[in-house]
Amino acid sequence: MVPQSGSKNHIPVMADEVVSYLATELSGAYLDLTSGLGGHLLALSKRLKPEARLYGVDRDLEAITEAKRRLAKVEQFETIYHSSYTEIGSIVDEFKDKKFNGILLDLGFSTFQLEDESRGFSFQQDGPLDMRFDKAGGGLTARDIINGWEEEQLGNIFFKYGEERQAKKIASAIVRERQKQMIERTSQLKEIVKSSVYNKFLNKSLARIFQALRIAVNSELEKLESVLPLLPDYLLSGGRLAVISFHSLEDRIVKNFLKEEEKSCICPPRLPQCVCNKIPRFKILTRKALVPGATELEINRRAKSAKLRVAERI
């Protein structure tokens, strides 16, 4: 994942493409399961008719407060619900609409979060090792992981979630350092990584380690894998699902899910005829993931790694 633009000049990633693909029914209902600062909902509102309905979900109470302020005068805006998108069943029970013409998952996070040093997302400023999207919900922090997990566990998440080549070396350095003192600040972790990699690779390694910790703290990949199979049940026939991912692990999960959901048969090739009776639930509309255009990248360089995949409910 990469952050989006900050709160004051918030630019939702690939907003034109999202609106173009999702807004098929101008009087319909639309759900943004990662509404953040409300940028995509605001973009949708400009295309939709006044009688359309817009709903949001987010884990970050501070982001919800800002999004509600920005959407206060939007006629189609219904509400933003504070929860994880994995709870979509109980969330939708609270909404007027139970099925939607479009659902969006934007797996990025905002500079609004990145620039808040108290959240601990950034290695560019000193702050507590927290990294939770939902601070109000308690749970595991990056500090807990760094100081409590075994060396092998640390190495595994740095390699798996951060794709960091020096994962084992960095994990070993962390364990040595925490025997001297607790590692509680982003600046402490930064110095440990700095001591473990060549200077020319430092920023990339820091970005990978911080990404890996954030993914582990928030169980991001597990949550994505658990919610995707639920989403077809909340789309109307012809409704569309759009997912924006920001690194290969996320994109692979989304790509493979959509490919499986498009198949009409999953029987072994050796069988002479289909016996699985599988019914496809999606038709893929983006055979190749869409990426931001040059114009968008000039305005928002942080969108560089974004990939958008869209499928239609059958």
Q: Determine the Cα–Cα distance for residues 47 and 49; give it in Å rounded to an integer.
A: 7
Mean pLDDT, residues 262-283 taken together: 87
What count of other Cβ atoms lies within 10 Å of the Cβ of residue 288?
A: 8
Retrieve residue 198's tokens. Answer: 């060549």
Give span(s): CATH 1.10.150.170, the chain.
Answer: 116-216
- Residue 186, pLDDT score: 96
Residue 102 has phi, psi (to 5 degrees) of -160, 140
Q: Is the pLDDT of residue 292 over 70?
A: yes
- Residue 111, pLDDT score: 65
The sign of the CA dihedral 51, 244, 123, 11 is negative
Q: Determine the Cα–Cα distance for residues 105 and 230; give it in Å rounded to an integer.
A: 13
Average pLDDT, the chain: 92
Q: Is the pLDDT of residue 3 over 70?
A: no
- Residue 108, pLDDT score: 82
Retrieve residue 128's tokens. Answer: 């507590």
Q: Determine the Cα–Cα distance for residues 156 and 168; give it in Å rounded to an integer.
A: 8
The sign of the CA dihedral 63, 68, 73, 79 is positive
- Residue 114, pLDDT score: 73
Of 102, 147, 108, 107, the residue nearest 129 (C-alpha): 147
- Residue 48, pLDDT score: 98
- Residue 7, pLDDT score: 46
pLDDT: is 94 or 9 the higher one?
94
Element of type H or E holding 249: helix 248-262
Q: Which residue has the tokens 């206060």?
A: 72
For the domain 116-216, what is the CATH superfamily, name and number? Putative methyltransferase TM0872, insert domain (1.10.150.170)
Q: Determine the Cα–Cα distance for residues 185 and 138; give it in Å rounded to an integer.
A: 18
Q: CB neighbours of 2 closer than 8 A, spacing ≥ 6? A: 108, 246, 247, 302, 303, 304, 305, 306
- Residue 274, pLDDT score: 85
Mean pLDDT, residues 246-274 taken together: 91
Of 271, 270, 224, the residue nearest 243 (C-alpha): 224
165-180 per-position pLDDT tens digit: 999 999 999 999 999 9
CATH for the 3-112+222-313 domain, from 3.30.450.20, 3.30.420.40, 3.40.50.150, 3.30.70.120: 3.40.50.150
Give span(s): CATH 3.40.50.150, the chain.
Answer: 3-112+222-313
Cα 225 to its chain centre, rounded Å, is 12
Q: Determine the Cα–Cα distance for residues 218 and 204; give it in Å rounded to an integer.
A: 21
Mean pLDDT, residues 118-133 taken together: 91
- Residue 221, pLDDT score: 96
| DSSP-derived 3-state class of residue 192 | helix
pLDDT: is 41 or 108 the higher one?
41
Of 301, 278, 221, the residue nearest 253 (C-alpha): 221
**Sorting pLDDT into bands at 50, 70 and 90, what band is 8?**
very low
User: Residues in the chain, how many?
Assistant: 314
197-235 per-position pLDDT tens digit: 999 999 999 999 999 999 999 999 999 999 999 999 999
pTM of the model: 0.90
